[in-house]
Amino acid sequence: MPKNLPMALQDKTFIITGAGKGLGRGYALHLASLGANVVVNNRSHVGETPSSAASVVAEIIAAGGKAVAEQSDAEDTLCGARLLQTALDSFGGIDGLVANAGVSEGTSFNKQDLAQFRRTIEINLMGTVNAVHPVYQHLYQQGHGSIVVSTSVAGLYGEHGLPAYSTSKAGLLGLMYALSKEGGRHNLRINALAPYAATQMTDEYLTDELRQQMHPERVAPVVAWLMNESCGVNGEIIIAGGGLMGHARVSEPVPVPIADEADFATIDQAWKQLREQPLEREYRSALQHSAAFLKP
């Protein structure tokens, strides 16, 4: 184990889903290098020996770290309960979860059948919920912890050819915002990370130069920062990759009045006025927004 590392994550225990390859593997290796115990989750595939999760665990142990493999499928509603129990049985506790497992797609909505759409939602959105729910309940009761859900700029802005993926990743933002309000009172932080990295999911879209720039390991330190109890960040969207870090947030211009009997031209003019105004207002909850928007 490398010397002179910060001790904040020493002997803390974290679950990483989708950690058999790509970003999840990078997160697991980095957290273990900082002294954390890691539950490495990745679903097993037929004929895969050893499993990808077991291979990552072997890497961690060979480097002097501590990790165990767990092979539940994100689509399994009992996935989170198994992950939590593995952490408790193996390391005696749990301090955080990085819900990283997910799949992409490559088809337009016009050509897509609903079974394909539902499967992406089931894995990316409900699969994250499956993992988060029991862990969230445990961290809520113990009064501390950190959860990171893996969103995407496709969830923020949408992308042609990724309708279900964009929907699933946008749904995770709603989950993150709601849970950050509920858990924040119990010292439980939840944030969303939109990573840029060269992985199996993105490889075909990247140039050689971007592949060199966008190693998954370059996102991992941001995950470690979010897992650190002293970080204090809650309910935020962090963008990271290629040696850069960004912050996404929702903001609005000041609303403009429209008459009760406004016609098309009046509303069209109001819209043009809104588009020209600076983005001045940010809101920390739906209740705060409604109070500000509807005030006399």
- List the domains of the chain with CATH numbers: 13-248 (3.40.50.720), 251-293 (no CATH)
Instruction: Work out the angle at residue 240's Cα, subtended by the Cα atoms of residues 149 and 205, and round it to the nearest 5 degrees.
Output: 95
| 165 a catalytic residue | yes
Catalytic residue among 136, 165, 177, 196: 165
Q: Render pLDDT for 48-81 as a digit per residue (tens, 0 to 9).
A: 667 999 999 999 999 999 999 999 999 999 999 9
Sole residue written with tokens 């990552």: 56
pTM beyond 0.85: the answer is yes
Q: Render pLDDT for 122-178 as a digit per residue (tens, 0 to 9).
A: 999 999 999 999 999 999 999 999 999 999 999 999 989 999 999 999 999 999 999
Report residue 245 CA to chain centroid gap.
15
Give buried/exposed letters for 29-43 (b at 16+ CB in 10 A, else e).
bbbbbbbbbbbbbbb
For every residue of 173-225, DSSP letters joined together read HHHHHHHHHHHHTTTEEEEEEEE----TTTGGG--HHHHHH--GGGTHHHHHH
Q: How far apart are CA 170 and CA 153, in angstroms?
A: 9
